[in-house]
Chain A
Amino acid sequence: MKTEIRIPFGPQHPDLEEPINFMFEVEEEYVKKVSVRLGYIHRGIEKLAEERSFLKNIYLVERICGICSFAHSTCYVQAVEELLEIEVPRRARFIRTIIAEMERIQNHYLWLAFTAKAMGFDTLFMYSMRDRDHILKILELITGKRVNYGLNTIGGVRRDLPEELQPEIFSKLIYLKKRAKKYKELCESDPLIQKRTKNIGILKPKDARKLSAVGPTIRASGIDDDVRSIEKYAAYDEISFNVITYKGCDVFSRILVRIDEIPESAKIIENALHNMPDTPTQVKTPKEIPKGETVSKVEAPRGENLHFLKSNGTEKPERLKIRAPTLANLTALCKMLEGANIADIPVIIAGIDPCIACAERMIFLK
Chain B
Amino acid sequence: MLKKRAVPVEGLANRINELLKSLACQVYVQRNRRIWINASLKHFKDVLSKLIGEENFLYFSTITAVEVQSEYELIYHLTFAEALISVKVKVDQNNAGLPTITDLIPGATLYEREIHDMFGIKINNHPDLSPLLLPDDWKKNVYPLRKWWTKTRIAKAMESHEDRD
Contact = CB atoms under 8 A, between A and B. Distances in A.
Question: Do any CB atoms of chain A lie under 8 A from CB atoms of chain B in the complex?
Answer: yes
A310 B158 CA distance: 30
Nearest to B61: A306
A306 B62 contact: yes
Interface centre among A39, A231, A297 (most CB of B within 10 A): A39
B107 A211 contact: yes
B84 A297 contact: yes
A229 B3 contact: yes
Contacts of B144: 44, 47, 362-365
B9 interface: no
Nearest to B118: A362
Interface centre among A230, A323, A332 (most CB of B within 10 A): A230
Contact of A229 (B2, B59, B86, B108): B2
Interface string A43-55: 0101100000000
B110 A225 contact: no
B81 interface: yes
A329 to B, nearest CB: 10
B164 interface: no
Interface in A90-132: none
Given A39-B133, A295-B86, A360-B133, A319 B66 contact: yes
A295 B107 contact: no
B34 interface: yes
Contacts of B107: 210-213, 328, 331-332
Contacts of B154: 363, 365
Contacts of B7: none
Nearest to B80: A230
B96 interface: no
B48 interface: no
B59 A209 contact: yes
Contact of A304 (B61, B75, B114, B134): B61
A331 B109 contact: yes
Chain B, interface residues (CB within 8 Å), range: 35 or more
B109 A364 contact: no
Interface in B41-79: 58-62, 64-67, 75, 77, 79
B105 A212 contact: yes
A164 B82 CA distance: 41
A363 B1 contact: no
Contacts of A360: 133
A179 interface: no
B145 A362 contact: yes
Interface string B116-136: 011000000000101111110
A147 interface: no
Contacts of B67: 319
A30 interface: no
A323 B62 contact: yes
A366 B59 contact: no
20 contacts: A44-B144, A82-B31, A211-B106, A211-B107, A224-B1, A230-B81, A240-B2, A243-B1, A295-B77, A297-B84, A308-B64, A321-B62, A323-B61, A327-B111, A332-B107, A362-B117, A362-B133, A365-B154, A366-B155, A366-B158
> Nearest 4 CB-CB pairs, A to B?
A212-B107, A363-B144, A323-B62, A211-B107
